Amino acid sequence: MTTENIIGADKVLDVRELDCSLKHPLLVKTFIELPAGEHFIIRNGHEPARLRDQFAAQWPGTFTWEKLPADPGEFLIKITKLKPLGAPAVPLATSCNGH
């Protein structure tokens, strides 16, 4: 499955109903496969702060993270890839450790 199959024309990836064990790897894979200069939007039931921290540790300076207006109990995060990725600065995490 590629990101083209899971992200609609609106570029929103709704992960609210996914189990954390599936959600986190999917979001990391989606970011890795995202072409430089492109973005996608995460729709989630909580703020994915640990994911942001992971991206910052593994790929510093390669993305922007923008919190968008959302309905109560919903979080919309726009992630834009600024440039191609090098090797991650730290090993890839495979779970969200509770979020």
Between residues 52 and 96, the one the model is more confident about: 52
The chain-wide mean pLDDT, for the chain, equals: 86
Out of 3.40.50.1970, 3.40.50.2000, 3.30.110.40, 2.60.40.420, the CATH code matching 3-81 is 3.30.110.40
pTM over 0.85: no
The fraction of the chain above a pLDDT of 90, given in percent, is: 67
* Every domain of the chain and the residues it spans: 3-81
List 80's β-bridge partners, or say none.
39, 64
**Residue 39 in this model has a pLDDT that exceeds 80:** yes
Asked if the model's pLDDT at residue 1 lies above 50, the reply is: no
